[in-house]
Structure 1
Amino acid sequence: MKRIIAVIREEMFESVKKALIEEGCEGMNVSSVKGRGRQLGIKESYRGSSYCIDLIPKTRIELIVNEEDLEDILNLILESARTGEVGDGKIFVSDVEEVIRIRTGERGSDAV
């Protein structure tokens, strides 16, 4: 099993969520986060003063998927989150040793 953490633009979340649900991937954790990467923030002016917002609001989606579904889910996130501009986000993939469904005690792929 694999854990996918996708950090994407807030405005792209609904399209990513819709695509994941259509693919049958309904279980996900979602949180609002702030961060920065190559985008290095946004420079703005207000009443003649310039300032930089260096931590940009993003949406973090966390999924656990079976290994055979990994590439399909990654491609789906890439296609539905990409704008082609700096700041589209990142996807992190890591191994998951065990998953246990608390309600039933199911383990492994059955619990996903």
Structure 2
Amino acid sequence: MISLKEIVAIIRPNKINATKKALDVLGFPGMTACKVVGRGKQKGILGEVAFTVSPELQNQEGGMKYVPKRMLSLVVNDQDVSLVVAAIIKINRTGQIGDGRIFICPVEEVVRIRTGEKGEAAI
């Protein structure tokens, strides 16, 4: 039985395109990506976003209550986890607070809705 893992990465908005391109080159074109907001140690990234940050996301000190990020999710074979994680780190590490997080979770089963395929065949 093949072991599958879900890799969830929370990254800076300005790194999404480079991350998607690098993963595609490595043979991992399939993923889910969405805009998210969250909080952590980082106080804000107003200079890094190419959109207007709404007032409800800003705090009184000029920082941000919630920081816009991008969340990527992809499922890979267990043996590919190290490669994918290394690529995400290489593209996204700036050394500054706010570089993001990567979560690696076990996947019990995958089912392709259209065909009913399961496991690795459904990825």
RMSD across aligned positions (CA)? 1.6
The CA deviation at 1:51 is: 3.0
Gaps of 5+ in 2: 47-59
Q: Name the CA distance, whole Å, in 1 between partners of 2:121 and 2:86.
A: 24
TM-score after normalising by structure 1: 0.88
2:103 is aligned, of 79, 92, 106, to: 92
- What secondary structure, in the 3-state scheme, does the structure 2 residue paired with 1:34 have? strand
- What secondary structure, in the 3-state scheme, does the structure 2 residue paired with 1:24 have? coil
Aligned to 2:89: 78
Q: Which amino acid aligns with 2:12?
A: R
What per-residue deviation string (whole Å, max 9, x for no partner) do you get for residues 60-94 of structure 1?
Answer: 00111110111100101110111111100000111
Q: Which amino acid aligns with 2:27?
A: G
Aligned to 1:34: 37
Q: Which amino acid aligns with 1:77?
A: I
Conserved 8 A contact 1:9-1:58: yes
TM-score after normalising by structure 2: 0.81
More strand by share: 1
Aligned to 1:25: 28
Q: Which amino acid aligns with 2:28?
A: C
Runs in 1 of length 4+ with deviation above 4 angstroms?
A: none
2:67 is aligned, of 56, 72, 85, to: 56
What per-residue deviation string (whole Å, max 9, x for no partner) do you get for residues 31-63 of structure 1?
Answer: 0001111113469xxxxx843312110000011
Alignment CA distance shift 1:55-1:72 (3 Å): same
Gaps of 5+ in 1: 44-48
Q: Which amino acid aligns with 1:61?
A: L
Q: Name the CA distance, whole Å, in 2 between partners of 1:24 and 1:4.
A: 15
Q: Which amino acid aligns with 1:59?
A: R
Conserved 8 A contact 1:42-1:54: no
